[in-house]
Amino acid sequence: MTLLGWIIFIFALLFSIMLHEFGHFLSAKKFHMKVTQFFVGFGQTLWSWTRGETEYGIKAIPAGGFVKIVGMTHLEEVEVADEPRSFSRQPGWQRMIVLAAGSFMHFLLAFVLLFILAVGIGQAANSSQATVGAIEPCVPKTDTAVSCVKSDPASPAVKSGLRTGDKIIALAGRPVHTWDQLGAAIRAQPAGTPVPVTVLRDGHRLTLHPSLATVHGRNGSYLGISQAVVYRTAGPITAVRYAGTEFGTIVTGSVSALGDIPKAIPQLFAKDRSSTAGGNVTSVVGAGEYTGEAFSAPVGWQTKVTVVLFIVISLNIFVGLFNLLPLLPLDGGHLAVVIYETIRSRIARLLRRPDPGLVDIRKLLPVSVGVFVLLVGFGLLLILADVVNPVHIPQ
C-alpha cells in the first residue's frame, strides 16, 4: 500500500507538471504565439512526436517540464519570419497571461479536486456510534507522541484482534451505545488485566479480551482505537462554497509556510522537527512519503483518499504560489519584468517620450543563475532532510 501511495503521488506530480506547462501552451496558442516544444521532464529525450509546428515529448528526468515559445528572451535568435509571432512582440497583457497561466492551472486543479472531494466523498464528521474507525498500532510513550517507534509495544487493540469497522456493543459486561459511553468505560477499567469487549463484526457477535495499557499524560486506561468517521456529501452550490473556503485556508497556510522557510532551515535536522516550522516545509520526497503513509494507514478508503487528495491539493497551491514569487528564473520573475516594462512604457507615453522597449534580460542573467543555484541547493537540502529526518503523518 505504501508503494501504491508513492505511485499515485508520482503520477499526480507528473500530471500537475503537465497541466502547468499546458497552461503556458494553451494561452500562447490562444494569442497565436509560435510554440515549438512541449516537454515533460529534462535531459535526454525518451519519446517525442511532432504535430504542426510543435514537438511534444517526454524526457528522462521527471523533475519538471517546459514549453518553448519563440522569442521568450533576448538570448534567443528569432528568425525574421517568426518575429510577428514571437513572445516579446506581443502586448504586455498577453505576455502576463501566458506567464501566469502555469500557476493558474495549479490553482484550478486544486479547486476542482476540492469540489470533487465535497460532492464525491463528502466532508468528514465523527460518528456518534461506538464504531472503531482506526486501530492505533502501538502504545505511545506519551500522550503527545505523533508516531510509533520500534520500541513501542503493540496496542491492546492490535493484540486482541480488534478491526476497523467493529461496532463495540459492550465492555466489561456493560452495554455501550455511543462513543462517549465507550470512552468513559475504557478509562474506568484497570490497566494490565483482560477486559471482555463484545463487538458486532459482519453481523456476528464476537467477544475479545484485550489487556488495557496506560499512557503517560493520559487519564485512564488505553485501548488503542480511534473514532469512526462518517462522510456527508454536498450539493454543487455547497461544494463550491466548501472548495472556496478550503482553498483560502490552504493559501493562507502556504503563504505562512513560505514565510517560515528562512527559520525552518536550521530546524530541518532537529529531533523535534515535526513540531517546528521545519516540519511544515518538505520536498517531493517528503510529500511522497506522506502519501505512502496515508495509503498504508489502518483507516477506511474514504479517509485515505481524502488525505491523499489534500496532499495533492496543498502541493499544487504551494507550487502555484511559489512560482509567482518575483524571482528569476521563476515565472513570477519574468512576470515582474513584463509588469515593469508595461509601467515604464506607459510613463514614457504620458511624458511623450520614446518607448524604452524591452528590458535587456541578459543583464539580469547573473541574478537568475544565482537564484537558480540557491533554489536547487535548497531543494537538495530538503530532500536530504526528508531522507534522514522525515516527518511522519500522525497515526
Distance, CA of 55 to CA of 34 (rounded, Å): 12
CA-atom Rg of the chain in angstroms: 27
Site of grid cell 468528514: 124
**Secondary structure class of 160 (helix, strand, coil):** helix
C-alpha separations of 327 from 27, 115, 213, 287, 333 in Å: 22, 32, 54, 24, 4
Range list of β-strands (E), the chain: 35-51, 54-69, 123-126, 132-135, 167-171, 174-175, 197-201, 204-208, 225-227, 229-232
From the candidates 21, 136, 289, 341, which is the catalytic residue? 21
Q: Which three cell numbers stand for residue 310?
A: 489534500
CB 189 within 8 A of CB 216: no
CB 55 within 8 A of CB 76: no
Which residues is 59 bridged to in the sheet? Answer: 45
Residue 269 CB coordination number (10 Å): 13
Q: Which three cell numbers stand for residue 349?
A: 507615453
Phi/psi region, residue 9 (left: phi>0; alpha: psi -120 to 50; beta: rest), is alpha
CB 197 within 8 A of CB 168: yes
**Secondary structure class of 118 (helix, strand, coil):** helix
Q: Which three cell numbers stand for residue 323?
A: 512560482
Q: Is 21 a catalytic residue?
A: yes
CB 277 within 8 A of CB 385: no
CB 274 within 8 A of CB 391: yes
Q: Which residues are catalytic?
A: 21
